[in-house]
Chain A
Amino acid sequence: MKLNISKLTQYKFKEPKNKYLFIIMLLSIIIMTILLPTSFLRGSNIQSMASQFPEFGFLALAMMLAMITGGIDLSVVAAANFTGVVAAVILNSANTAGMPAGTAIFLSIIAVLGIAVLCGLFNGMMIAFVGVPPILATLGTQGLFLGLATVITKGYSIGGFPDAFMTIGNGVVLGIPIPFILFVIGAVLVALLLNRTKQGFNMYMLGTNPTVSRYSGVDNSKVIIKTYIVTALLAGVASIIMISRANSMRPGYGSAYLLQAILVVVLGGADPDGGFGNIPGLLMAIITLQVTQSGLNIMAFSPFFRKFMWGFALLLVMAINFIAQQYGDYKRVKRMKEQVAATAS
C-alpha cells in the first residue's frame, strides 16, 4: 500500500506536499461517504457543492497569486464588495429604467472588471512604487474599498436584478452549475498564467527573492502591479457570482471568506514567505474544505462549528508542515553530509 502511493506520486506530483494533500482529500471524501452513505454522494449534493464554492474559490485563487509573490492581499473581499456594489447599482437602476437585460449585464460586467483593474493597480503601485509592505497596503485599501462600497449603498443591500443575470450564479448547463464552469475556466487560466507565461515564472522568482530577480533583469514593479491587477480581477469575478447567487449585494458580504481564502491557500501548499503555491494543491485544498463543510452541514453541525474546524485545520496543517519540514531538513542535511563524507574519503 505504502509502496503503491509513493510510486504513484513519484510521477504525478511535482510538489511534494501535494502527495499528503491528495491523501487528506481522499480521506475526507471517504469519511463523508461512509458517514453519510445516502446523502453525501447524491447528485443534488454534489451539484450544490459545485455551485457553492466558486465564489470563494476565486478569492482563494487571488490570494494565492499574492502569496506566491511573497505578499498577501487583505483587500480581496473588499474589492469584491466594492465592484459588486457598483454592479448591483447598475443592474438595479437598469432594471427600473427598463434597459434591456443584456445591455445592463454587459455594462455591469465591464464596470466590475474596469474597477477591479483600478483597485489592483492601486494596490500594486502602493507596494511597488511607494514601498509599503503588502500587508499594510492592502489593509489600507481594504478600508478604502469597503468604505466606498458602504458610502454607495449607505449600508443597505441592493437587490432587484434582471432575471437573466441570475443565471450566472444559479444556472445549470448539462447538469453542471455555471459558477463551477466559470471556476474551472478561471483555475485553468491561472494555472496557465503560473506555468506557461513569463509573468507567472517571474512571480515565483520574485516571491523567492526580489533582489535576485532584480539582478536577473526582472522588472519587479511591473510583475507586482500585474499580480495585484489579476488578483483584483479574480475578486471581481467572485463578486459577479456572489451578487447573482444572492440576487442582492450588501457591503460586508463574504467577509468570512478572507480567512477561508488564506486557509485554503496555505493548506494548498503556498508559502506565506513567497515563491511557492500551485493550482493542483489549491484545488485539492478547496475540495477538502468544501467536502468537509458540506458533510458537516448535512450532519446538522452549525456554521460556528465549521468556523472552529477551519481555524483548527489551519493551525494543524501549519504545525504538521513545520514538523515535517524540520524532519525533512534534518534528513536532507544528514544526506548531504554523508555525500560530502563519501566524496572526501
Chain B
Amino acid sequence: MILLWTSLVLMIFSGGLSLFRRHPSSPRWSVAGLVTACLIGIVPAVHSLWTGASSETRLPWNIPGGACHLGIDPLTAFFLIPIFLLSSLAAVYGLEYLQGKQPVSWFFYGLLVAAMVVTVSARNGILFLMGWEIMTLSSFFLVTAEHEKREARQAGWTYLVAAHIGTAFLLVLFLLLSRSSGSMDFDSFKGLSPSETAPAWLLFVCAVIGFGTKAGFMPLHIWLPEAHPAAPSHVSAVMSGVMIKTGIYGLLRFLFYLGAPSPWWGWTFIGIGLTSGVIGVLFALAQHDLKRLLAYHSVENIGIIALGMGVGFLGLSGGSTPLAVLGFGGAVLHVLNHALFKGLLFLGAGAVLHSTHTKDIDHLGGLLKKMPWTGISFLVGAVAISGLPPFNGFISEFMIYLGCFKGLSPVHPSTGPLIAAMTGLALIGGLAAACFSKAFGIVFLGEPRSAHAAGAHEVGMPMKFPMMFLAGGCLLIGIFPTLALRAIKHPLAQLIPNLAVTLNDDLSMAERALSMISWSAGALIGLILLFALGYRLFWRGRRGGSAPTWDCGYAFPSARMQYTASSFAQPLTDLFSPLLRSEQIGSPGKDLFPKDSHLVTETPDVFWKEFYRPVLHRIQNLLARGRILQHGRLQLYVFYIVITLIAVFLLEMRNP
C-alpha cells in the first residue's frame, strides 16, 4: 500500500512541477516523475493481481461521512494496471506531441491520473465521488487545452454537463446505499438487503445511468464524439483507453452490492450492448474525422463489454456458472484489450495529425511509405479492434461468443437474448472490420490525396515507442491468451464469490479452448512467415519491372481519382440511412456536361440532433422566463436578499 501512496504523491507533485517552474525543460521533469510514479504504482497492483491478495489503509480525515480509505484488491488491481501502463506511455508520447506547448497541461494530466487511481482504489463513497469529480474536472481542462478553438470549448461544455448529470445519479445512488447503515464506507454496503435501503431496481437504474454516462452507453454517449477529438491525442488515448473504463469499474463494483441479480439485468445489459455496439460502429463508419471515428468506436467497444456483462448476469441469475464466468471474463478482458488497442489507435491518429496537420481522412493517403512504424502499429491496432486473430481483440470476443454458444439450450429462456448477443456481436465485428479497412486503407494506403499528406514524415522515438509497445501488447495477449486468463482469474473469483467452487472447472474449460487458440495463432503466424519466406526466395527476384496502377487505360491518373473514405463507406451508410440520417450539402452535377459541383456529406449524432438539442432548447426557453429577476441592478439584488431573510425569519417564527 505504501507504494501506492508514494506513487500518488509523486504523481501530483511532478504534475505540479510544471506550474511553478516555467522552464523549457520542466515538462521533461514532469513526465519523468509521472513515469516513475506509474512504475512504482504498478508493483502493488501486479502483486495483488497475481496472488489475489488484498490490502487497505485508512488515514484520519475529518469530513462528515468520509474516510481516507484506500485499498487494493484484484478487481482494483486489474483496472490499475492499464491506468498506470497507458498513462505512462501516453505521457512519454505527449512530450514530443506537445513540443513544449501548454506546459500547464501536465499539471492536469498528473491530477487526472492520480484521480483515476483514487477512484478505482477508494473504499469510501465520499472519497470515491471526490476522485470521480477531480477526474472529470482535470480532464475537462485537458479537453479545453486548445481553448482558442471554438469546437474545443463547445466539446468541453458538453462533456462537463454530461459528466455532472452522471454524477448526480451517483450521488443519489450513494445516499440511498448509505441510508440504512449511515456510513459511506464500502464495507458497510456489503450484505445490504435491498429492502433496508431502496428497491433494487432504483439502485440499478441509478448505477447504470450514473456510470453509463462516463462509460459512454448509448444514448448517454454524446460527450464522447465531441471530447475525444478536441483533446490532445495522448489525452484522448488516456480518456478513451482507461478513463471511461472507470464507469465499467463502478458497475462491476456496485451492482454486486445490490443482492442477487435478476434476469432483466442481463436483458438490459444485452440491450444496451447491442444499441451501443451496432449504432456506435455505424456512426463510426460515417465519420470523416479520424479521431471522431475512433471516439465512436469507443462507444462500440463499451457495447461489447456491456454484452459480455449481460451474458454474465444471465448466467448468474440462471445459475449457469460457465455462462457467468465466460461473460464476465470476456467483459473484463475486453476492458484491458480495449485499453491497449484504443490507446494505440489514438496515439497513431495523433501521430498522423502531428505529421500532416489534418485528421480529415479524405485528405490523407499513402502514409505507410512515409510513416512505416506508425503505419504498422496502426495496422496492428486496426486488426485487433476488429476482433480478428491473432490479436487480443479476438480473445475477449471469443470468450463472449463461447459463453453464448455454451448457454444455448432449447428450453432455457435466456436462449433468445444469447442468440441476439451473438448475432449482434457478429454484425458489430463485420462492421468494425469494414470501418477499419476504411480507416487504415484510406489513410495509409494508396496515393496522398493532398499536399498535407504528401509532406508527411515519421514521428520521433518518444512517439514511436509507446505505439510499438502497445502493438506488442496486443500481439502478446493474442498469442498467449492463457496468460490473460490467469490475470482475470482473481478478479472473477472476487466478483462471483459464490461460484468460487466451480470457477476453476469453468476456467479450465476456457483455458483448454484458449490454449488451442494459442497454438492456432502460433501456427498461423508460422504459416504466414513461411509464405513470406517462399516469396522472398523464389518470386521476389522475378519482378518484371514496375508500372502504374491499371486504370482502364486512362492516360492521366491522379490521386483525386482514388476512392475516398466517404465513397468506401457509402453502400453501408446508405443501407442504414434511416438510422444515421446523414446530411447532404450541395449536389452532384446533373447535366450531360456537369460543370463544377460539390458535395459534402455529414453525419452528426442523431441523438444530439433529434433528442438532446430540442429538449435542451425547451428547457432553456423555460428558464429564460426567470431572467426578469436578473437585470444587473445591485440595489434590487440586495432587496431580494432582504426579502429572503425576512421570509426565512417569518417561517422560523411560525414553527418554533
Q: Are both chains from one complex?
A: no
